[in-house]
Chain A
Amino acid sequence: MNTPQEQFLFLVGRVLDGEATADERATFRSLLREHPELIDAYREQTDMDTLASWKFGSASREFGSATPPSASPRRKRPTVFWRRTGVRFAAAAAVLLTGAALWRGAWRASPPSAPLSPSSALRPPSSAADSPVTVVARKDAWGLELPQALPGQIRLAKGEIKVRLPSGVELVLLSPLELQVENDMEVRLTTGRLVAWVPRRACGFTVHAPGLTAWDIGTVFSVAAEETASDLFVFKGSVQVLDSEGNGVDLCEAGEGVRAPAGKTPFKVAAEGAEAERMLRAVRGYAALDDLQRALRAARQVCEQWTAKYVPEEASRVREAARRQAALRNAPRPIPFTKTAWVRPAAPMTATGGAKIHSSEQEASNMKTTSAAALAAVAMAGAGMSGAESAPILVDTSPVHNRHWTTAFTNEIPLRWNWVTNADSAELAVTGMNGSFMTNFTDTAATSWVWPAFASAVPAAEDVYDLTLTFKDNQAIVGVLTSKLTVVTAAFGQSKVIPTPEDKPWPSVKENAVIPYDAEWAEATADATASRVVIAKQGGIIQTNALADASGYLGWKLRRSDWGYGTFTLALTFPGTVTNAWDATLVRNADGMMIKVR
């Protein structure tokens, strides 16, 4: 180790790793002074040291988890991931966008296709596995929805969970909760409580709650959004708080917070007096993360003590509302199989993005319970429909099996796969109701490809695609991967919105259509593992579609099919659960399809 370069290489590691002795640091300083040309090499090392720490981050270590680093933490657009299990068909993933936003908590039937008999191996990957939001821990959690792409919503009906965002921010979420994750650095808390731990590399993480916005500077803090007020409280570090207009409220340090009463000006609160200090002592700093309930209790009490002392008229109002909220939280929630669609309590029956077609009361008045205590409400999107076009929306037909991950918001769908051993080429076949497509890959270094799902910026028609990637070794098949992708138009603002059912007859459809189905629509069928859709034409053929999953999309091919015109009955059942069925009656005329709701 004689040359300065060799000395430098040894010492720079010792310095950056924090292992250098005083003598070694002195030598290192001398080296940089005497050989300024080494400064660039030093910068190279510090840059890479920083980059590696950002990439592989230490978000988990202070928070107590040890999951491996993600190779690609940010997903900017939906991706179809292929799974591999040797030569067998493996995972089925589905992408979908739909006019599903049209109906609200009811089965949206639309025109069907040829019988589908998916292989039992075709199962969508679990929503948690594909979510950009990682669940780190859960406690008595129930009714959890995770987004499959960002922006997306997290909902939690009961219990608490800890999640990690791609930025390294970790959030402990307490039910009942609705949280819109705009991106990995910004969330909006609609209702519920959360405690955030923000690593320094995620400085700038922003939480919006009704009446306030918190901009974090590397810290631990809580936010509670309730009917009467939003509260923020800092346990460690600093948070800059703004009101809903963007005006600064103040910079809050540990032991301080902000209360934003509904419709009123937010005010800063602080732990004051021996009692408040005593409560906070046990939960200051990272200790808040160890005993969440206690920390939130302390935060709340600090806010209330301050409010009672300095804003007494506000205090009584907030106390009363808090009592009502607590009673609501603890109320039992029996949900039978009824004529109205059941959705897990934390998942309101609205289409993501806020598009609502008609209220639940309107729906109820339009539906009658069948002998099997079933119902179906059918809304069709398609040609000939009146009403305004919606803005692009996230499509989420399932209250629990969150389908955001399957939603394409672009006509460029990245496909990714791992090559099967020995394969020297692969053939991709894409088959949909409106056509099919095939291509070959001969470069075994390629592990991804962007599939333009449709030619224009928005899809001309909805479709359900089956994707099959066949690996070959000298023309012999050595492996097959499959996936599923559904394209709907609502994500591109092509969903027709009908203001009220009374305005006009139900819409007509001429195109092939996509039928969403989900066992979670009724509590009695929530545990189903498979589904069945039976389509019967009066006086004609009956088609039974056995579906290997309990939630997904069925393509019904009408154009250029043998279905013809007439009246159709659709029934959706979930084998292995109750015999009740969701049903719908459709009439297809020569100029479209009329749908009657029973």
Chain B
Amino acid sequence: MERAENRTASETFVRRLTQVQCDLHAYITYLVGNRDEASDVLQEANVVLWREAARYDENKPFLPWAKTVAYYQALSHLKKRSRDKLVFDEDLMLLLAATDQDRHDDMQERLRLLDVCFAKLTRQQQSLLKFRYFHDWPVRRLAKRFSFSEAAASMLLTRIRRQLARCIEAARIQEAEA
């Protein structure tokens, strides 16, 4: 009986952790300012979360607890990195974390809507995203491929991300109203 309960508890924990991976990744990227570094921090955070699973209070929401752990992992990462490579310092990271507190996390839903919004982009915008995110081309290479300056390519990506974010937001409102 006890074994069965253990198993169920483990499976439940794994399921919870799996469900919040995208949210955690986004949160850490926000804190450290770089997606690749965020991936490393996320992995470390996952190990800590697993080890600390027994401390999780099942009566409370999982994601806020996981984000707290992720915050401290990001902080630890920040202390380990050499200062000249960092985007943010401790104070700014704290400010960002504080600003995040009232946030409604719903990355899974937005991931779903991204399909719809991606289809609305122009062909060139779609190509840019694919080269950047699927083939992982650096901006320098993108700029050369599309005959832009690096600054223009970077700006273009920023605008596409903003356009997608607004499209997703509009789609969410539309779905909610429907």
> Per DSSP, are chain A's interface residues mostly helix, strand or loop, or mixed?
helix
Partner of A19, one of B11, B99, B111, B154: B154
Determine if A204 and B21 form an interchain contact, defined as CB atoms under 8 angstroms apart.
yes
CA A17 to CA B158, docked complex, whole Å? 10
Distance in angstroms from B76 CB to nearest chain A CB is: 17
Provided the pairs A55-B111, A201-B22, A242-B7 are in contact, do residues A237 and B43 lie with their beta carbons within 8 angstroms?
yes
Provided the pairs A15-B87, A20-B87, A238-B47 are in contact, do residues A54 and B25 lie with their beta carbons within 8 angstroms?
yes
Determine if B165 and A47 form an interchain contact, defined as CB atoms under 8 angstroms apart.
yes
Stretch in A22-30, A92-100, A315-323, A504-512 with 4+ CB within 8 Å of B: A22-30
Provided the pairs A29-B88, A42-B30, A246-B7 are in contact, do residues A69 and B130 lie with their beta carbons within 8 angstroms?
yes
Q: Is B144 an interface residue (CB 8 A)?
A: no
Provided the pairs A25-B87, A29-B89, A29-B92 are in contact, do residues A66 and B43 lie with their beta carbons within 8 angstroms?
no
Distance in angstroms from A74 CB to nearest chain B CB is: 9
Q: Is A218 an interface residue (CB 8 A)?
A: yes
Given contacts A47-B30, A56-B130, 11 further A-B contacts (CB under 8 A): A10-B158, A29-B89, A29-B92, A50-B22, A51-B164, A54-B22, A54-B111, A69-B130, A201-B21, A217-B43, A247-B7
Q: Is B34 an interface residue (CB 8 A)?
A: yes
Determine if B165 and A16 form an interchain contact, defined as CB atoms under 8 angstroms apart.
no
CA A443 to CA B11, docked complex, whole Å? 46
Stretch in B55-63, B131-139, B170-178 with 4+ CB within 8 Å of A: B131-139
Sample of 12 A–B contacts (CB below 8 Å): A14-B154, A17-B154, A25-B87, A39-B96, A43-B30, A44-B162, A46-B30, A47-B165, A50-B38, A51-B164, A246-B3, A247-B3
Give the A-binding residues of B (Cβ under 8 A): 3-4, 6-11, 14, 17-18, 21-22, 25-26, 29-30, 33-36, 38-39, 42-43, 46-47, 50-51, 84, 86-89, 92, 95-96, 99-100, 103, 107, 110-111, 114-115, 118-119, 129-130, 132-136, 138-140, 150-151, 154-155, 157-159, 161-162, 164-165
Determine if B130 and A49 form an interchain contact, defined as CB atoms under 8 angstroms apart.
no
Partner of B135, one of A20, A28, A66, A246: A66
B3 contact set on A, CB distance < 8 A:
245-247
CA A41 to CA B99, docked complex, whole Å? 12
In chain A between 133 and 176, which residues have their CB closer than 8 angstroms to a CB of chain B?
Answer: none
CA A9 to CA B4, docked complex, whole Å? 53
Determine if A56 and B25 form an interchain contact, defined as CB atoms under 8 angstroms apart.
no
Q: Is A434 an interface residue (CB 8 A)?
A: no
A200 contact set on B, CB distance < 8 A:
25, 39, 42-43
A263 contact set on B, CB distance < 8 A:
none
Determine if A218 and B155 form an interchain contact, defined as CB atoms under 8 angstroms apart.
no
CA A41 to CA B10, docked complex, whole Å? 38
Q: Mark A221-248, 1 if CB is under 8 A from B, else 0.
A: 0000000000000000110101001111
Q: Is A215 an interface residue (CB 8 A)?
A: yes
Q: Is A33 an interface residue (CB 8 A)?
A: yes
Q: Is A203 an interface residue (CB 8 A)?
A: yes
Residue in chain A with minimal CB distance to B139: A17
Q: Is A48 an interface residue (CB 8 A)?
A: yes
Determine if B43 and A203 form an interchain contact, defined as CB atoms under 8 angstroms apart.
yes
Partner of A48, one of B18, B34, B165: B165
A218 contact set on B, CB distance < 8 A:
39, 42-43, 46
Most B CB contacts (10 A, CB to CB) among A36, A69, A200 go to: A200
Q: Is A52 an interface residue (CB 8 A)?
A: yes
Distance in angstroms from A84 CB to nearest chain B CB is: 18
Partner of A13, one of B25, B30, B134, B155: B155
CA A165 to CA B53, docked complex, whole Å? 28
Distance in angstroms from A265 CB to nearest chain B CB is: 12
Determine if A68 and B162 form an interchain contact, defined as CB atoms under 8 angstroms apart.
no
Q: Is A435 an interface residue (CB 8 A)?
A: no
Determine if A16 and B50 form an interchain contact, defined as CB atoms under 8 angstroms apart.
no
Determine if A9 and B43 form an interchain contact, defined as CB atoms under 8 angstroms apart.
no
A127 contact set on B, CB distance < 8 A:
none
Q: Is A206 an interface residue (CB 8 A)?
A: yes
CA A242 to CA B50, docked complex, whole Å? 12
Distance in angstroms from A441 CB to nearest chain B CB is: 19
CA A53 to CA B25, docked complex, whole Å? 10
Determine if A32 and B7 form an interchain contact, defined as CB atoms under 8 angstroms apart.
no
Partner of B158, one of A33, A43, A45, A51: A45
